Amino acid sequence: MKKVNNIAVLTSGGDAPGMNAAVRAVVRTGIYHQMNVYGVMYGYRGMVKNEILPMESKSVANIIQRGGTILKTARCMEFYEPEGRQKAYENLKKHNIDGLIVIGGDGSFKGAQKFSQEYDIPCIGLPGTIDKDIAGTDFTIGFDTAVNTAIDAIDKIRDTADAHDRLFIIEVMGRDAGYIALHSGIATGAEHIMMPEHKAEVEDIIADLQANERRKKLVNLIVVAEGHETGANEVAKMIKHRLPNADTRVCILGHIQRGGTPTCQDRILASRMGYAAVNALIEGTYNVMVGIVNNKIHYTPLDHAVKAKEEMDTDWVKMCKILAS
* Measured distance CA(202)–CA(208) in Å, rounded: 10
Q: Which of 41, 30, 8, 18 is nearest to 124 (CA)?
A: 8
Q: x/- contact string, 112-151, with ligand F6P (CB under 6 A)?
A: -----------------xxx--------------------
Q: Say how far residue 266 (Cα) sits from the centre of its chain.
A: 11
238-263 per-residue burial string, b: 16 or more CB within 10 A, e: under 16: ebeeebeebebebbebeeebbebebb
The yes or no reply on residue 12 touching ligand F6P (CB under 6 A) is no
Query: Is there binding between residue 173 and ligand F6P (CB under 6 A)?
Result: yes
Burial bucket for residue 294 (CB in 10 Å: 0-12, 13-18, 19+): exposed
Of 148 and 248, which CB lies nearer to ligand F6P in the complex structure? 148
- The residue ranges of DSSP E strands in the chain, in sequence order, are 6-11, 36-40, 52-55, 99-104, 123-127, 167-172, 192-194, 220-225, 248-252, 288-293, 296-301
Select from 8, 9, 11, 14 the one that contacts ligand F6P (CB under 6 A).
14
235 scored as a contact of ligand F6P (CB under 6 A): no
Tell me if 102 contacts ligand F6P by CB under 6 A: no
Least distance in Å: CB of 154 to ligand F6P? 16
State the catalytic residue, choosing from 15, 98, 120, 131.
Answer: 131
State the nearest-atom distance from the C-beta of 112 to ligand F6P, in Å: 16
Q: How far is the CB of 133 from ligand F6P (least distance, A)?
A: 8
What one-character DSSP code corresponds to residue 95? T
Judge whether 159 counts as a catalytic residue. Answer: no
Q: Nearer Cβ to ligand F6P, position 98 or 144?
A: 144
- Tell me if 37 is assigned to a ligand binding site: no
Q: Which is nearer to ligand F6P, 14 or 17 (CB)?
A: 14
Q: How far apart are CA 30 and CA 40, in angstroms?
A: 15
Of 115 and 179, CB closest to ligand F6P: 179
Other C-beta atoms closer than 10 Å to the C-beta of 295 total 9
- Please state the closest distance from residue 114 (CB atom) to ligand F6P, in A: 20
Q: Is 197 near ligand F6P (CB under 6 A)?
A: no
Q: Kindly state whether residue 175 participates in binding ligand F6P, applying the rule CB under 6 A.
A: yes
Known binding residue 278? Answer is no
8 Å CB contact between 293 and 138 = yes
- Of 197 and 226, which has the nearer Cβ to ligand F6P? 226
CA distance linking residue 221 with residue 200, whole number of Å:
14
User: Measured from the CB of residue 107, what is the shortest distance to ligand F6P in angstroms?
Assistant: 9
Partnered with residue 90 across adjacent β-strands are none
CB 102 within 8 A of CB 72: no
Q: Which amino acids are annotated as binding site for ATP, given as ranges?
A: 14, 75-76, 105-108
Pick out the residues of the known binding site for substrate. Answer: 129-131, 166, 173-175, 226, 249, 255-258
Active-site amino acid positions: 131
Binding residues for ligand F6P (CB under 6 A): 14, 105, 129-131, 173-175, 226, 258
The binding site for Mg(2+) comprises: 106
